[in-house]
Amino acid sequence: MSKIAVVAGAGSGVGRAVVVELAKRGYQVALLGRRLDPLEETIKLAGGGAGGIPGGNGRSLSAIPCDISREQDVAAMCGRVRAEFGPPSVLVNSAGTNVARRSLAELSVADWHHVVDVDLTGAFLVTHAFLSDMRKAGRGTIVHVVSDAGLTANRVSGAAYVASKFGLVGFTGTINAEERRNGIRACAVCPGEINTPLLDRRPVPPPQEARLKMLQPEDVAACVMLAIDLPDRATVEQLLVRPREA
């Protein structure tokens, strides 16, 4: 069984925590993110891939800088993953962004496009890049780290973020509807507030005491791993997780 995974947004937060868990399970992992340094820091935190199966480059973890909102970047990344490791059986999309001026009264057209391009179109581009490999293999697990803002709109997240996350929930459902016959399953993990660097982009970032009561990246990573670890016959299509103390 192939134990090759691609994780988008691997430079921090939930994506970083997912890489650590995958490495513990012996996966070869391609780490995607816009900047190389955070990806390499994740590799160090994951033990340099200790316990993993050596990839084509002699490593079990590989940092691949990639702007997932850019089609040409994704195409180049896909070729590199295939060359270094082979086709993946697991894809985790944890990449996401937001802007400070996010209310309808302040949101610019440029910022709308930026958020939608990363949070929704980026997930589509990375998924689209590897779907043919999964179809050929007759199996594959795709996990999108969404948000509870993709289930219920709120005043905190902003219009572009909420619209993107609603779209991502719908995209996940479409993957299941169309691709389950090909052995491919998809899960939308929808967490409430998570203590990640994205909080610093809020108009008023929450204080440290509030962040400690939120979900932590490793909590959400555990949900992602549940969807991955289940036998192929089972699919967690949607998973809602929130802090105990809202």
Choose, from 27, 130, 161, 166, the residue flagged as catalytic: 161
Which pair of tokens denotes residue 55? Answer: 């990839």
Rounded CA separation 95/32 (Å): 9
What pLDDT digit, counting tens, does each position of 100-143 carry? Answer: 999 999 999 999 999 999 999 999 999 999 999 999 999 999 99
Please, are residues 127 and 68 in contact by the beta-carbon 8 Å criterion? no
Q: What domains does the chain contain, in order, with CATH numbers?
A: 4-241 (3.40.50.720)
Specify the pTM: 0.91
- φ and ψ at 38, to 5 degrees? -60, -35
Task: Report the chain (246 residues): mean pLDDT per 10 consecutive residues.
Answer: 91 96 96 96 82 48 97 97 96 95 96 97 98 97 97 95 98 98 98 83 79 90 97 95 83
161 is catalytic: yes
Please, are residues 59 and 110 in contact by the beta-carbon 8 Å criterion? no
User: Which of these, 193, 110, 116, 112, lies nearest to 149 by C-alpha position?
Assistant: 193
